[in-house]
Structure formats: C-alpha cells, structure tokens
C-alpha cells in the first residue's frame, strides 16, 4: 500500500503551514503511523524545526527533484519519534526550482519521486509561500490539500487564486486532488475579529473547516527553536492539545 499524500498549502507566508505540517506529522506518528515529511520550502523551516542542522546536509530534497535521486537515499530519521522521517530542504532548493523550470516533466518531479511510498502511511508536504513550480509539484503529487488559514483580517485574500490553481490541476494533471480541510490557525479567542473571520471562513468553505481551531500559543512558536514538535516540547500546552485533536480529524477524513 502506498502512502496517503497531504500537501499543506497556502501561498501566503506566516499562516502556520510549517507549524501544521510538523505537528500533524508528529501526532500521526504518535498515533502509530509511519510518516514522511517532505520539506518543499527553500526556507527549510520544517528541517530546522525538527532539529536538523542545515549546514551539515549532503543530500536534500533538491537531489530528489532535480537529480532524480530515489527518496530512500534522501530520507533522514527525526530524533523525537522513531516513526517520523523527513526529506530535508535548504535554500539550494530555490536554485533547483530555476533549473527545474527548463526541465522535462517539470510539474511531476515530486509525484515521480513519491511513486514508491510503501514504507509510509502518510507523506506530508510542507509547501513554500507562493504558487510556484514547487507548490504545483506538491499539488500534483498529493491526494489532499490541507489548507491552514490564519484567523486575521486578510485571511481570505489570495484563497480564490489557490482554489483556481487547484481546479486547473484537477482538470489537467491530478483529477483526484481533494481539499481535505481548512484549519483555522493562530486564533485569538478573545477578539471579536478572530470570531468573525472564523465565521467567514466557515461560510466560504461549507463542511470543510475542521472543528478544531488552533489557538495562538507561545509554546507553538518556541518549540521549533528546540528542534521539536510542540507535543515533544510541552505535551500539555494548548497548542499540543489542539494539534492532537486536529490530527484525529485528519485521520477520520483521510484514514
């Protein structure tokens, strides 16, 4: 059986993609699944957030998409959990993207790379903050999109464009791509604005918004500097509990 592939995507930066990718992946591993994170953002935040020193890396996701290195040779284990693995990224991935733009089958490099995922139950792709070639590669490789939306005034901006891209990809290159769900992130429950935005998101994505809302929680922001998912850093924090609950919903929608 090959893995269920979930791309965590939103072309806006700072909405909680990496935080969601890392923490959902960790919770899936805690739930007994074998999970591979593909860091597909040249910023490599998922890589460093899981305690991997980017300076020391000899092999990264760039080798997989540019040089067609088998993923087995690029996968690293992650210290916090034996069932969690990552294909790391460094800023070099941005160069690879430029090269890739001229290459054959440039849209389906990641899909080809992920053809053999029998070793895993889930592959979680952390996408860059753009609708770039890398993001499109992620969407073509994925079964599902997990869309984090920050509970702030500009939350919905740009989402139309993302959904259009998704429709285009469904038509041409990946007909089975589905929106798994929308995760509202960085919610500040004390503000009226946060609640209004939450309501608006629900109206915009009927039936798709996860019941679990991720609160703004300082533990979530601290954990990456310790190289840990929040569940391994402070398991009883609000952030850790929220991601555990969100992961339960992910499992029930994409079990």
List the structure tokens of 39.
């860091």
Q: Is 15 in the site for ligand ADP (CB under 6 A)?
A: yes
Q: Which is nearer to ligand ADP, 166 or 186 (CB)?
A: 186
- Greatest C-alpha distance within the chain: 51
Q: Is the dihedral of CA 137, 140, 141, 143 positive or negative?
A: positive
List the structure tokens of 78.
């992650």
C-alpha distances in Å from residue 80, one per residue of 97, 105, 146, 234: 30, 36, 23, 13
d(CA 9, CA 251): 18
Nearest to 147 by CA among 231, 209, 230, 194: 209
Q: Which of the choices Mg ion, ligand ADP, none does residue 70 contact, using the CB cut-off of 5 to 8 A by kind?
A: none
Q: How many amino acids of this chain bind Mg ion (CB under 5 A)?
A: 3
Strand partners, 215: 187
Q: Is 81 in the site for Mg ion (CB under 5 A)?
A: no
- One character per residue 159-188, x = contact with ligand ADP (rule: CB under 6 A): --------------------------xx--
Position among 4, 9, 10, 18 found at the interface with Mg ion (CB under 5 A): 18
Note whether 113 and 71 are within 8 A (CB): yes
Position among 69, 94, 112, 129 found at the interface with ligand ADP (CB under 6 A): 129
Q: Which stretch binds ligand ADP (CB under 6 A): 7-15, 158-166, 172-180, 244-252?
A: 7-15
Q: Which of the choices Mg ion, ligand ADP, none does residue 88 contact, using the CB cut-off of 5 to 8 A by kind?
A: none
Q: Which of the choices ligand ADP, Mg ion, none does residue 103 contact, using the CB cut-off of 5 to 8 A by kind?
A: none
Q: Which of the choices ligand ADP, Mg ion, none does residue 60 contact, using the CB cut-off of 5 to 8 A by kind?
A: none
Strands 81-87 and 35-39 turn out to be parallel
Note whether 158 and 11 are within 8 A (CB): yes
Note whether 185 and 239 are within 8 A (CB): no
Q: Is 23 in the site for Mg ion (CB under 5 A)?
A: no
- Three-state DSSP at 85 gives strand
Q: Is 45 in the site for Mg ion (CB under 5 A)?
A: yes
Q: Which is nearer to ligand ADP, 18 or 132 (CB)?
A: 18
Least gap, CB of 36 to ligand ADP (angstroms):
18
Q: Which stretch binds ligand ADP (CB under 6 A): 9-17, 137-145, 175-183, 227-235?
A: 9-17
DSSP-derived letter for residue 214 is: P
Position among 9, 15, 17, 132 found at the interface with Mg ion (CB under 5 A): 17
Residues between 21 and 60 that touch ligand ADP (CB under 6 A) = 45
Task: Find the angle CA(166)-CA(169)-CA(174) to the nearest 5 degrees.
Answer: 115
Q: Is the dihedral of CA 9, 14, 15, 17 positive or negative?
A: positive
Interface contacts to ligand ADP, rule CB under 6 A: 13-19, 45, 129, 185-186, 214, 216-217, 220-221, 224, 239
Interface contacts to Mg ion, rule CB under 5 A: 17-18, 45
């Amino acid at each position: 059986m090959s893995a269920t592939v979930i791309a965590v995507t939103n072309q806006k930066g700072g909405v909680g993609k990496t935080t969601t990718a890392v923490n959902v992946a960790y919770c899936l591993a805690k739930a007994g699944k074998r999970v591979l994170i593909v860091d597909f953002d040249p910023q490599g935040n998922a890589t460093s957030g899981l305690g991997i020193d980017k300076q020391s890396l000899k092999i990264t996701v760039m080798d997989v998409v540019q040089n067609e290195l088998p993923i087995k040779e690029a996968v690293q284990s992650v210290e916090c959990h034996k069932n969690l693995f990552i294909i790391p990224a460094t800023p070099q991935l941005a160069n690879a993207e430029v090269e890739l733009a001229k290459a054959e089958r440039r849209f389906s490099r990641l899909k080809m790379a992920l053809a053999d995922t029998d070793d895993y139950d889930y592959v979680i792709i952390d996408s860059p903050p753009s609708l770039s070639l890398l993001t499109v590669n992620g969407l073509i490789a994925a079964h599902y999109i997990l869309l984090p939306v920050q509970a702030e005034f500009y939350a919905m901006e740009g989402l139309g464009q993302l959904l259009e891209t998704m429709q285009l990809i469904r038509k041409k290159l990946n007909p089975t791509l589905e929106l798994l769900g929308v995760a509202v992130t960085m919610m500040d429950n004390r503000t009226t604005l946060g609640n209004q935005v939450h309501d608006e998101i629900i109206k915009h994505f009927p039936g798709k918004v996860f019941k679990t809302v991720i609160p703004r929680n300082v533990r979530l922001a601290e954990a990456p500097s310790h190289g840990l998912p929040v569940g391994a850093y402070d398991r009883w924090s609000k952030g850790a509990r929220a991601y555990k609950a969100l992961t339960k919903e992910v499992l029930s929608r994409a079990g």
